[in-house]
Amino acid sequence: MTAGASRSRFREDETRRDSDHVSFLRHKRFRWAWAALALSLAAAAGYALIDQDPRPNGGSWYGYTLGTIGLGLILWLSLLGVRKRRINPGAWSLKAWTSAHVYLGLSLVVVGTLHTGFQIGWNVHSLAYVLMLLVIATGVYGVVAYTTLPARLSDNRREMTRAQMLDALTAIDRQLDGAAQPLARGEADLVLAALRQSPFAGGALARLTGRYPACQTARALAGMDTASEAQQRVRALLEKRAAQLAQIRGALRIQAALEVWLFLHITLTIALIAALSAHVISVFYYW
């Protein structure tokens, strides 16, 4: 390989590494943000420039045009889940697709609203519009979540994997099991109850809220005296166990928030596609 080819290959590798560190929101210098802005401005300009009375609505030629664009965008944007299952580092990488998904999804607020002609009622057409806004709203929350929660998760773990956090808890439990031997029966039972309780106990609501009212470790701490040296040692170990549990439960809470958001976003998207199908069928039936 020649020196020139080596330098060219080096620059390509550097460019690729730089692009890997760029957020999907800033992908290709906000390429899809500009595309979404252009689409929104074009739709708004077209609506404003049409000189007719009454103003264009979903039943006008302009309404049909915007409706077709909006429907195509929604169906294409819903394929992001399919795209995530494929490996493709090319022009349509996952980062590029996600960036387009976010910004073109936001443009649907303008396209969809102008398609309705600002006519909202109690019908399947408005239902599709409301569901679209809900999908977009949950999508905005998802963008915020995926740009902030991973950092919080990393800070919470303190460079520990889930397995390492559980190993640390197991090590504390072994010490507690031995330290609790000299205790009286009542205090020993509190410690044993804490050791027997799974760190994942509490259910979905506890994971989301971070509140564990049935936590046996907290109960053992509340019932542990500090009169003797053995009690002091056990209490110190229980405090370490509580801190380790808080770290594990903090990670679970962040992961649960992402899982609930994804479930809600996907469910609303499915409902939107169903409502859109009814909307399109009714439009062509009564045309």
Kindly report, residue by residue over 154-194, the tens digit of the pLDDT. Answer: 666 666 777 888 899 999 999 999 999 999 899 999 999 99
Query: pTM of the prediction?
Result: 0.73
Distances (CA, A) of 36 to 66, 134, 272: 14, 19, 21
Number of domains into which the chain is organized: 2
* 61 and 144 inside one domain: yes
* 102 and 235 inside one domain: no
Helices 31-49 and 94-116 pack at an angle, to 10 degrees, of 10
Q: Is residue 18 part of a domain?
A: no
| Cβ atoms of 107 and 33 closer than 8 Å | no
Banded model confidence at residue 5, pLDDT cuts 50, 70, 90: very low
Q: Is residue 10 part of a domain?
A: no
Distances (CA, A) of 103 to 29, 110, 119, 269: 13, 12, 25, 16
Question: Two tokens at 133?
Answer: 């806004």
Q: Which pLDDT tens digit goes with each residue over 12-65?
A: 444 444 445 567 778 888 889 999 999 999 999 998 888 777 777 777 888 889
pLDDT value at residue 8:
47
pLDDT value at residue 20:
52
Q: Is residue 214 part of a domain?
A: yes
Q: Which pLDDT tens digit goes with each residue over 121-161?
A: 888 888 999 999 999 999 998 888 877 776 676 666 666 77
pLDDT value at residue 199:
85
* 63 and 126 inside one domain: yes
* 147 and 169 inside one domain: no
Q: Is residue 267 part of a domain?
A: no
- More confident position, 86 or 195: 195
- Which range (99-103, 198-202, 230-234) has the least confidence? 198-202
pLDDT value at residue 153:
67
Show the domain range for 125: 23-157+276-285
* 180 and 131 inside one domain: no
pLDDT value at residue 7:
47
* 214 and 138 inside one domain: no
* 104 and 167 inside one domain: no
Banded model confidence at residue 216, pLDDT cuts 50, 70, 90: very high
pLDDT value at residue 35:
94
Q: In the chain, what is the greatest distance between 2 CA atoms, to the nearest angstrom?
A: 90
pLDDT value at residue 84:
61
* 81 and 221 inside one domain: no
Q: Is residue 9 part of a domain?
A: no
Q: Is residue 12 part of a domain?
A: no
* 96 and 176 inside one domain: no
pLDDT value at residue 54:
75
* 147 and 166 inside one domain: no
Q: Is residue 238 part of a domain?
A: yes
Question: Two tokens at 2?
Answer: 């020649």
* 153 and 174 inside one domain: no
* 186 and 237 inside one domain: yes
